[in-house]
Amino acid sequence: MTLDKKVKILATLGPAIGSRDAVRQLVEAGVNLFRLNFSHGEHADHALRYQWIREVEQQLNRPLGILMDLQGPKLRVGRFAEGQVHLQRGQHLRLDLDETPGDSQRVNLPHPAIIAALQPGMDLLLDDGKLRLRVVAKHAEAIDTEVLAGGELSDRKGVNVPQALLDLSPLTDKDRRDLAFGLELGVDWVALSFVQRPEDIVEARQLIGERAYLMAKIEKPSAVEHLQAIAELADAIMIARGDLGVEVPAEQVPQIQKCIIGTCRQLGKPVVVATQMLESMRFSPAPTRAEVTDVANAVAEGADAVMLSAETASGDYPMEAVQMMSKIIRQVENGPDYQAQLDVARPKAEATVSDAISCAIRRISAILPVAVLVNYSESGASTLRAARERPTAPILNLTPNLRTARRLSLTWGVHSVVNDRLHQVDEICSTALEIAQAQGMACRGDTLLITAGVPFGKPGTTNTLRIETLI
């Protein structure tokens, strides 16, 4: 198994991965946690994949996080009498609530919230942005639009409304059923799609409670606008560049990505860069040079994790995609400027004992040849703060809580081991040294930094730092 990279790999499971052994091979190639995409597949499919992951987790004795990704509202036009129409630039098209099959003059838009929110001058994007319409008039149950960019439009194509805040919950009836199933199954993370405002996080949190951690997907312009508040309320952020790249000008996406990563780093919240990272590897054993550069940039910018979607879910080369992503991560992390770039973007510490210790271990690990930072953490909070500093040495998190260990599988530089035998202060060093050596993260003569909270078992009490040598 690869413990020599700090940026994590989140891989999506789908039809391309057909057995427990295939899941194990992905983990051995570098995957740290898995995504179950509830936009596709039946509950039985997800339950089987969940079981495979947990069996591999037991086989390898390594915590593996599981993320369920909710579909969210899917906004689409209705059907056409002839299946499709060709829209010409400059022509007018009415979108209304009438369910009658459409033609080149009108079509059903079965979403009253969109009609209510749109105003003259606003644009709609159809079929992943291939067609663009501008609202010229609004009525009680319809809008009239002018075609700015035309083309073929067929049944049930998607609609994006980048300039309007829609009065829609991010959770559909399907999402609520899926969420109940996933929580009963025991997923560690829930990714919330279609986030527009902080209130969406509050709504989802009320349903999830403490049963899983909540990841907000940033894919709407309004979510970018409310990024700070959303990131403060969520446990992690996913930069979902697919829909985001449709709803905002493509040239703005790289800067938005940098901004989101910087915000999450300041808050100490894990951030995932997702969508089309190695897209060409769905059908090719090698990526394009642009894709390699894209992954490398996300790593260099300080992301906690990078994600594979269709590449591992339905592609022809899932194993090669993971291996390639692992190689790119290692290449960047071993580069001469990587640590310097992370240090330049280092967030300002807060006036807390935890941050003071986290800053200290970063400085010590830059001065001394520290092999590993060992942190005892019940909740994972102090480990998240340590990872926020992006120290040069990897972080070995020791926790009695398997749920915490699975959560931290997403976090930069952290390798977790479940350990419930630590009860006395005098066991701190001996246990840390023993486990670090057993995990292959340190050997005789190596220097270790060890942090813990005394008394044990009380979250938020990290107050001890030791420097030890493995004899």
Catalytic residues: 35, 76, 217, 275
Q: How many CB atoms lie within 10 A of CB 368?
A: 12
194: left (phi over 0), alpha (psi -120 to 50) or beta: left
Q: How far from chain centre, in Å, is Cα 301?
A: 15
Distances in whole angstroms, Cα of residue 132 to Cα of each of 106, 157, 240: 15, 13, 21
Q: How far from chain centre, in Å, is Cα 317?
A: 22
Is residue 394 a contact partner of residue 405, using CB atoms and an 8 Å limit? no
Pairing of strands 271-274, 305-308: parallel
Q: How far is Cα 316 from Cα 369, in angstroms, rounded to an integer?
A: 43
